[in-house]
Structure 1
Amino acid sequence: MPLYMDCHDTPGIKIEEAEKAHLKDLAVQEKFHVKYLAYWVNEDSGKVFCLMKAPNKEAIHKTHLLANGIKTCNIVEVEGGLYSAFMGKDLRNREDLVVDENGTPDGGYRFILNLDIIAVTRLSDFIDFDELKLPRKPREAAERFILKNNGNVVNQLSYDRVIAVFKTPESCLLCAKEIQEEFLSHKVEYTSNEWNFRFTMGLCIGEPVTTTDDRIFQQALNQSMWYCKIAENGKIALPIEFQEISVLCRTEMDMPDITVIDKSDQDFIRQLFDHINVNISKDNFTIAKLSREMGLSRAQLYRKLNSMSNSSPVQFVRDLRLKYALNLIKEKKLTISEIAYELGFSNPSYFAKCFKKKYGISPSKIKVEV
């Protein structure tokens, strides 16, 4: 049977109450052919997450409704390998509550590190796509630091970036800082006469399932990617919540090479990417239109975005289009000209010029293995 996770928004919930509710679920699960496996309780946020096998989502709804008279906020189907990558090997007490090695309840939240490494080549001949998008040497170094800090690399999710998951905010942030220091202080070891590279990191706190997710940790993955794109070259961007939950993080985050995103800026970033993603393929999508849709003047949009990313709105949107272009090149479904038009460039020659300026090579010179 398929594997599912769900979430319940229950402000003020206590572990003892969740244990009783779980026992009631177990008492009726066979009626709907559901098997409850584990659950997580986060008393601070009032969230409860359940893991179960079931024939479908409707069966899960029915068990919760019959057992406890409650509805789930959302249910997502989970691929087993992806579940293990995010949640790790869960230890459960006799009531199926997930706990850590010390027996302390696991609240279910995880800390996501999103690392974007983009090579810039000085070669003029054909080059391999994979080496351009995710250079081998810096990627392998980053993965070593992730393992050192008890993180887990989620290889299933992306071929064009490194995504890692941690159980504590401290291990996530310390890992990011170690990667940053390694890349900045030993950059010559990862480059050559033919190659250079840029990198950014976005960190995020995530819950397994939210009310809008279609897959596990979807919202957190989106946010970490947004922060990765907001960050300046060589910097780490992360939400202020890291400071609020960890004294160590509060100290480590007070550094010039870290961008701390407060709650109002988090809303701004979400709206920014929502509007850009809807309009990015339109050649008539202008900064004036983006400003209007966000309810800001062009000057306000410029100041807000520049303060976080040191980039103008025009540069920012163009860079996003060029990053998306790499993914379309990888898919090999469109010609270079078609990719240019698909991403809102009115002129393929201008697209090729911008691409070469960013990556050091013409898009037509990239080799992609079938």
Structure 2
Amino acid sequence: MPIYMDIHPGLGDATPEDVADAHRRDLAVQQEYGVRFLSYWFSDPEGKAFCLVESPDVESLVECHKVAHGLMPHEVIEVEAPTLAQFMGGSETDEHDRATVDGQPDSALRAIMFTDIEGSTDVSTKQGDAAAFELVQAHNEVVRGALEEFGGHEVKHTGDGILASFVSVSRAVEASISIQQATAGQPETASQLMIKIGISAGEPVEDSDDLFGASVNLAARICAHASGGQTLVSGPVHDLAIGKNHQFIGQGAIGLKGFPDPVPLYEVNWRA
């Protein structure tokens, strides 16, 4: 049966108890509509809830919500279980089906990281495929080591880079620092490994048919704008990391392909 995730924004002054009660109401009538509510996420400050549901179709899910409590989803997207697990890695479910991380409520916010090797095509052209393969292998070792150390989850290998997800924005920044410091400490060669990193932050359903669609696109564009050895982050990542002993250098608002308005970017000062 298909799996869907929906979003209920604008819940105002709703408390965790209110959302838990709405979930219980869903469970009470789910069999009538052939659906099964699996878990939910709730972000207190933003007043947003996300439901994960097995359902034969979108209409059955929506009708179940309507009858149970009347809180209609703003948007519903179909998700693949493996992709969901990769993006939401670290999330567990308590006895009330609420998603948690390390025993604490999980808001569903994730930091999304894109990495890319600078100049990999030139290495392949000038030095051959073997040198390019070695560069990719070195990149993979460094990045995957940082993901393991800082709790990141690899979502996809892109050929010359990796797409990853982090429960914590701060941990994503720490992982990027580890990556840059590791590559900076390597001996200089003709095919020096230089990694570009872009980090954004967002929620699973964001006006896109894809899970974390807007955040993934933004992280990819930020990464493309970065230079080798540079990590750039979006404004929300910078704001959420304040007070975590990270240092940033403002880059101003930058025009990025696919985004109508300039995007404020910050460089992680990993040499500090």
Write out aligned runs for 1:207-226 (5 A). 207-210=203-206, 212-226=207-221
CA shift digits 1:4-42 (9 cap, x unpaired): 111110233321110111111111111110000100000
1:153 maps to amino acid: E
Write out aligned runs for 1:267-346 (5 A). 269=255, 272-274=256-258
Question: Which structure: greater helix fraction?
Answer: 1
Distance, in Å, in 1 between the alignment partners of 2:49 and 2:162 is 29
On the 8 A contact 1:253/1:260 being kept in 2, the answer is no
Distance, in Å, in 2 between the alignment partners of 1:6 and 1:128 is 46
Distance, in Å, in 2 between the alignment partners of 1:260 and 1:172 is 19
Give the structure-1-normalised TM-score. Answer: 0.64
Indicate the SS of the match to 1:228: helix
Number of corresponding residues: 263
Distance, in Å, in 2 between the alignment partners of 1:247 and 1:93 is 30
Q: Does 1:121 align with 2:117?
A: no
Distance, in Å, in 2 between the alignment partners of 1:116 and 1:202 is 9
Q: Does 1:95 align with 2:91?
A: no
Question: Which structure: greater strand fraction?
Answer: 2
Distance, in Å, in 1 between the alignment partners of 2:215 and 2:148 is 21
Distance, in Å, in 1 between the alignment partners of 2:131 and 2:14 is 50
CA change 1:130–1:7 in 2 (3 A) is: farther
In structure 2, which of residues 206, 227, 230 is the aligned counterpart of residue 232 of structure 1? Answer: 227
Unpaired segments of 5 or more residues in structure 2?
Answer: 268-272
Distance, in Å, in 1 between the alignment partners of 2:93 and 2:124 is 53
Residue 283 of structure 1 is matched in structure 2 by none
Residue 299 of structure 1 is matched in structure 2 by none
Residue 198 of structure 2 is matched in structure 1 by 202
Residue identity over aligned pairs, in percent, reads: 24
On the 8 A contact 1:238/1:260 being kept in 2, the answer is no
Distance, in Å, in 1 between the alignment partners of 2:47 and 2:131 is 45
Residue 253 of structure 1 is matched in structure 2 by 247
On the 8 A contact 1:170/1:248 being kept in 2, the answer is no
CA change 1:130–1:33 in 2 (3 A) is: farther
Distance, in Å, in 2 between the alignment partners of 1:15 and 1:308 is 34
> What is the root-mean-square deviation in Å for CA atoms of aligned residues?
2.8
Q: Give the stretch that moved more between structures: 55-64 or 224-233.
A: 224-233
CA change 1:77–1:198 in 2 (3 A) is: same
Cα distance, 1:89 vs. partner? 4.9
On the 8 A contact 1:239/1:260 being kept in 2, the answer is no
Q: Does 1:169 align with 2:165?
A: no
Distance, in Å, in 2 between the alignment partners of 1:183 and 1:126 is 21
Indicate the SS of the match to 2:257: helix
2:210 maps to amino acid: R
Distance, in Å, in 2 between the alignment partners of 1:238 and 1:20 is 37
CA shift digits 1:223-272 (9 cap, x unpaired): 111111222332111123234334444x3133x5xx566xxx3xx53xx4
Cα distance, 1:180 vs. partner? 0.9
Residue 133 of structure 2 is matched in structure 1 by 131
Distance, in Å, in 2 between the alignment partners of 1:73 and 1:30 is 23
Cα distance, 1:145 vs. partner? 1.1
Give the structure-2-normalised TM-score. Answer: 0.86
